[in-house]
Amino acid sequence: MKKRSWVAALGTPLALFSATLIASEKLYNFAFKRVDYVPETSADKQKYADAYWSYVDWLHRQPVQDWQLTLDDGTSHLVAKYVPAKNTSRRTVIISHGYKGDGETMANYAYMFHNMGYNVLLPDDRGHGKSSGKYISFGWQDRRDYLEWVNQVIDQTGSQTEIVLFGVSMGGATVEMMSGETLPPQVKAIIADCGYTSIEEELAYLLKRQFHLPKYPFVPIVSFINRHRMGYFLSDVSSVEQLRHNKLPIFFIHGEKDVYVPSWMLKKNYQAAGGHKEMWQVPNATHAESFWIDPAAYEKHVSAFLKRVLSD
């Protein structure tokens, strides 16, 4: 083989490999790097904008307390908003927000639980809102951060408190991942709305659906980048594996027409979960739309589940 032909034959795969690495790095930064703003909601959710802002206005009128958490490594500083119940209550819900959101974006759920007589804690996850962090952990590191929030609720409200964990989308996956941890007895129930099975499956699904890209080689390379940046592979981040260890009553909610976190993930999570479990697949709801289609029906289902699994 002539030298020029040999160089050309070698250069083509090297160029392809380099292009794949560059694309994977861009993909990682797009998906995992924090943004210091809340992106606009999807076009199909714009019709709920006025209702959404009315809930945010309600939150701003509440006697909100700012809670803070400095983690053991001394470099991570997290913040949360605490809304005490109108009347003294031993029950508190910790609400986990979605991807690139923050605690305030969950104002509608805060209103619902406040209306049910709960104290409400609204954390900003690491890499979101006013909390520190360069990257988004998709629930994996957050699950341990939320254990610290649980402990702070117990410290602030007393050992007789009863805690419910609630989350939507990435927040739903976060509380699902918490289910596999050793939780204090004050944590009584979990409600997960449209949580994914694992970040690896979710990323592979969205790559194919939104960008028409295959899982290989992009997901393994992104996983390797995350191992270098965050200390774990994407295969570690699994709601399914955590749910196998669940012992608490858990309620799964999912939109029937969800194409962002597809309904097969609901079924896989439900089948994996230990403990008492219930499921509600909401007709005609897209991703994270179940509340907005009918807030009264949503509250009715949540309230009924909690009445079934909590003591009077």
pLDDT tens, residue by residue, 166-190 = 999 999 999 999 999 999 999 999 9
Tokens representing 240?
């399914």
pLDDT band at 258 (very low <50, low <70, confident <90, very high): very high
CA distance 272 to 29: 31
CA distance 290 to 299: 11
Residue 81 has pLDDT above 70, yes or no: yes
What pLDDT, on a 0 to 100 scale, did the predictor assign at position 74? 54
What pLDDT, on a 0 to 100 scale, did the predictor assign at position 10? 43
Q: Give domain status of residue 163, yes or no.
A: yes
Q: Which domain holds residue 300?
A: 21-309
CB 222 within 8 A of CB 252: no
Q: Give domain status of residue 267, yes or no.
A: yes
Residue 5 has pLDDT above 60, yes or no: no
Three-state SS letters, the chain: CCHHHHHHHHHHHHHHHHHHHHHHHHHHHHHHECCCCCCCCCHHHHHHHHHHHHHHHHHHCCCCEEEEEECCCCCCEEEEEEECCCCCCCEEEEEECCCCCCHHHHHHHHHHHHHCCCEEEEECCCCCCCCCCCECCCCCCHHHHHHHHHHHHHHHHCCCCEEEEEEECHHHHHHHHHCCCCCCCCEEEEEEECCCCEHHHHHHHHHHHHHCCCCCCHHHHHHHHHHHHHCCCHHHCEHHHHHCCCCCCEEEEEECCCCCCCHHHHHHHHHHCCCCEEEEEECCCCCCCHHHHCHHHHHHHHHHHHHHHCCC
Beta-bridged to residue 33, according to DSSP, are 135
The amino acid at residue 12 is T
Tokens representing 251?
């309620």
CATH number at residue 133: 3.40.50.1820
Q: Give domain status of residue 180, yes or no.
A: yes
Q: Give domain status of residue 297, yes or no.
A: yes
Residue 8 has pLDDT above 60, yes or no: no
Residues 253-262 have a mean pLDDT of 97
Tokens representing 22?
């560059």
What pLDDT, on a 0 to 100 scale, did the predictor assign at position 18? 82
CB 95 within 8 A of CB 167: yes
- Percent of the chain whose pLDDT exceeds 70: 94
Beta-bridged to residue 135, according to DSSP, are 33
Q: Give domain status of residue 16, yes or no.
A: no
Q: Give domain status of residue 46, yes or no.
A: yes
Q: Give domain status of residue 133, yes or no.
A: yes
CA distance 153 to 239: 24
What pLDDT, on a 0 to 100 scale, did the predictor assign at position 121? 98
Residue 17 has pLDDT above 90, yes or no: no
The amino acid at residue 310 is L
Tokens representing 134?
């360069």
Q: Give domain status of residue 264, yes or no.
A: yes
For 77, residues 6+ apart whose C-beta sits below 8 A from its C-beta are 68, 69, 70, 71, 131, 132
Q: In whole numbers, what is the pLDDT of the chain averaged over residues?
A: 93
Please give the tally of structural domains in the chain: 1
* Residue from 278, 200, 283 nearest 238 by CA: 200
pLDDT band at 75 (very low <50, low <70, confident <90, very high): low
